[in-house]
A and B are shown apart, each in its own frame.
Chain A
Amino acid sequence: MSSERPKLGPDIPKVVTAWISASGRVVYLTKDRNWSEDLGDAEVLTGAGAAEILAWAAADQTRVSDPYFMQVTEDGQIAGRETIRESIRAKGPTNHPMFGKQAGNN
């Protein structure tokens, strides 16, 4: 039970995810420092430099809220112990398949 997410070591592939401040929609940080609703656009980060990118995201406070690291595989698929949570967050509620991105409902 926590809104705090697990800490991920530098070697674990990760992306930065957040919520758009105006809409609350889930987004992922891209290589060109934009935010995309498509996880496939996200930049996969490894190494110590990732922390700087998260710090940059945290400073992008007007556009987004509460950025954090989300674990992925090297090719950008959701991974790790938060896979269920992040899969639901990426797609939409499992009880309402007609809502969320899973329904193309953007």
Chain B
Amino acid sequence: MYRYDEFDDTLVRERAKQFRGQVERRLKGELKEEHFKPLRLQNGVYLQLHAYMLRVAIPYGQLSARQMRVLAEIADTYDKGYGHFTTRQNIQYNWIRLADMPDVLDKLADVEMHAIQTSGNCIRNVTSDHLAGANLDEIEDPRPWCEIIRQWSTFHPEFSSLPRKFKIAVTAGETDRAAVRVHDIGLHMKRNAEGRIGFEFIVGGGLGRTPYIGLTVREWIAKEDLLDYLEANMRVYNRHGRRDNKYKARIKILVNELGLEEYKREVEEEFAAQNSWEKVVLPQAEVDRISAYFAAPAFAKLSAASEAFEAFKAASREQARWAKNNLRPHRVPGYISVHVALKPQGVAPGDATSDQMRALADIGERYALDDIRVAHEQDIVFPHVKLDDVPAIYAALKAADLHASNAGMGSDIIACPGLDYCNLANARSISVANEIQAVFADPEFEDEVGTLHVNVSGCINACGHHHVGHIGVLGVDKKGEEFYQVLFGGRADEKATIATIQGPGLRHEEVAPAIRRVVDRYLALRRDRSEKFIDTMGRVGQAPFKEALYAAA
């Protein structure tokens, strides 16, 4: 993984020192909250329902064991012993005192981490495919380009005060595991007609109160032009993006108001007008230097089959189920990727205790080439694991209660913190998610249903990605009562689709039974077990599912 050079290290430490001074001035009364707020937000510090919340950046979701242990230490020393992994591949702490924040930032800096650009109207932490460097269908590892964009965008003076926050995601697989079509800019690495690898350039995706699927502005842009083309897009946005209304300030609104052709024309004009001295001529040596950090590890030459792994699967139904649901194929024979679902029954999706973080760090260090990833599904992934080590990893996960065998299934729910923590939320999302999880508590039933993405948000900001769930649930406030609208048909992959709201909201206690009826309707309608929920819905339409949703309401 990328290691800080002296510039990165100095930059992060000086930023922490600067924030220490700002906090001291705030606590002495020399800075009012209205003046301090933008400063704390630039360092990932929010004031939430119960306390301050700190959002720590995990660039493109990659962590080392050493970093994970420090995250655990912060949870123990400054929080209440747990953290929350987010849909942006970051981690949040819910209870840190403002007075302790500078010490926390120093601890993060010690392991090349920070909270810069996790908030505010800037280019946020770049996200990517959690299986980058490991998966079968990838044409190139996207992480060097994430890192290049991170370096280009960090403290970029021209883009530090954008009309609104700005999210960039990069993927390089045929299957899009990074949801690039619902980001402000999505980059999908592809070959052009000559076979050269570059980027499909997608702009204007996003969720929130006005969801859009991103539009392709360029079918292909060369690597050497990437930063300049990014800059051209950012300049058009910075120039025309609305600053008078935060709800209309995202680039998705601009792209849709201008129309794709006019937006493209403006971007191409800006791109062509860049003077030679403005161009970011990225030296190949620098690309090579950064890429070297992401070079494939020294994989052992192994047989594609493993007796130990076969014996592990044969030993119990529980283990066989976990192997079937939580392992993903690896491009190197004898290796596999392990998906650790942070979604056991009854736990807030994405939460991990400090003990669990340490267990993950130990596994990562001992069995997974010190490479730990956070997936946007709020799960943890070990991308590089020997099949022979799967039994030991499973045992270690089980000892830490991290062996939920539901990756990608109905109970592997994405959910925001909702009204239990968030100052913006209208309704609780964790408790609803837990009740929906209980629908799938019987492993045989959950397996019978198969792949199903349920996403829950506690307000229209859509941090729980309800617009792109096969089943989405949106909490709303109705005269002081929590109600939940249900959406159908969303997906975040390369066939990204915005889900459709079905009708009136349901009461809290009505949601899980309604989801059960919808799932039962799927089982009745599907052609056979190979037809997934989302495909059956695509074939027969949403009407029969809607009828099931409201059948007992």
Question: Does A pair with B?
Answer: yes
The interface of chain A, by Cβ under 8 A from chain B, is: 1-3, 19, 21-26, 61-62, 65-66, 80-85, 88-89, 92-96, 99-100, 105
Which B residues between 92 and 136 are near A, CB-CB below 8 angstroms?
95-99
Q: Apart from A23-B97, A93-B420, what 11 extra A-B contacts exist at CB < 8 Å?
A: A1-B459, A3-B424, A21-B98, A25-B50, A65-B47, A80-B480, A84-B428, A84-B480, A88-B420, A89-B50, A95-B420
B413 located at the interface, meaning its Cβ lies under 8 Å from any Cβ of chain A in the complex:
no
A105 to B427, CA, bound (A): 24
Could you say which residues of chain B place their CB within 8 Å of the CB of A89?
49-50
Contact B98 A61 (CB under 8 A): no
Shortest CB–CB separation between residue A31 and chain B, in angstroms?
24
Q: Which B411-438 residues sit within 8 Å CB-CB of chain A?
A: 419-421, 423-428, 430-431, 434
Interface, chain B (partner A; CB < 8 A): 26-29, 32-33, 47-52, 80, 95-99, 209, 348, 419-421, 423-428, 430-431, 434, 459-461, 477, 479-482
Q: Given A22-B97, A81-B480, check contact A95 B431 (CB 8 Å).
A: yes
The distance from the CB of B80 to the nearest CB of chain A, in whole angstroms, is: 5
Interface centre among B49, B52, B348 (most CB of A within 10 A): B49
Q: Which residue of A lies closest to B247 (CB)?
A: A1
**Majority secondary structure, B binding face:** loop
Contact of B420 among A61, A62, A94 (CB under 8 A): A94
Q: Is the CB of B51 within 8 A of A23?
A: yes
Asked if B50 and A95 make an inter-chain contact with CB atoms under 8 angstroms apart, the answer reads: no
Q: Does the CB pair B27–A3 fall under 8 Å?
A: no
Q: How many whole Å from A4's CB to the nearest CB in chain B?
A: 10
**Distance in Å from the Cβ of A98 to the closest Cβ of chain B?**
8
Give the chain A neighbours of B48 by CB distance below 8 A.
Answer: 24
Residues of chain B within 8 A (CB-CB) of A25 are: 50-51
**Cα separation A105 to B81 with both chains bound (whole Å):** 13
Closest to B49 in A: A89
Instruction: Choose among B27, B51, B479 the residue that contacts A24 (Cβ–Cβ < 8 A).
Output: B51
Contacts of B421 in A (CB 8 A): 93
Chain A residue nearest to B457 (CB atoms) is A1
Whether A21 and B420, one on each chain, are in contact in the complex, defined by CB atoms closer than 8 angstroms, is no
User: Taking A21-B27, A23-B51 as contacts, is the C-beta distance between A94 and B428 under 8 angstroms?
Assistant: yes
CB contact under 8 A between A19 and B47, given known A62-B27, A65-B33:
yes
Query: Whole-angstrom distance from the CB of B414 to the nearest CB of chain A?
Result: 16
Query: Which residues of B lie under 8 Å from residue A88 when comparing CB positions?
Result: 49, 419-420, 428
What are 5 A-B contacts with C-beta separation under 8 Å? A1-B460, A24-B51, A62-B29, A81-B477, A94-B428
Asked if B431 and A21 make an inter-chain contact with CB atoms under 8 angstroms apart, the answer reads: no
Q: A1-B460, A24-B98, A83-B480 are in contact. Are A95 and B26 (CB under 8 A)?
A: no
Given known contacts A1-B424, A88-B419, is B480 in contact with A95 (CB within 8 Å)? no
Partner of B209, one of A1, A61, A80: A1
Give every chain A residue within 8 A of B97 (Cβ-Cβ).
Answer: 22-24
- Once the chains bind, are B32 and A23 in contact (CB under 8 Å)? no
- Chain B residue contacts of A96, Cβ below 8 A: 80, 348, 420
In the complex, A99 Cα to B93 Cα: how many Å? 13
- Top-10 shortest CB links A-B: A81-B480, A62-B29, A24-B51, A93-B420, A24-B52, A1-B459, A65-B33, A95-B430, A23-B97, A1-B460
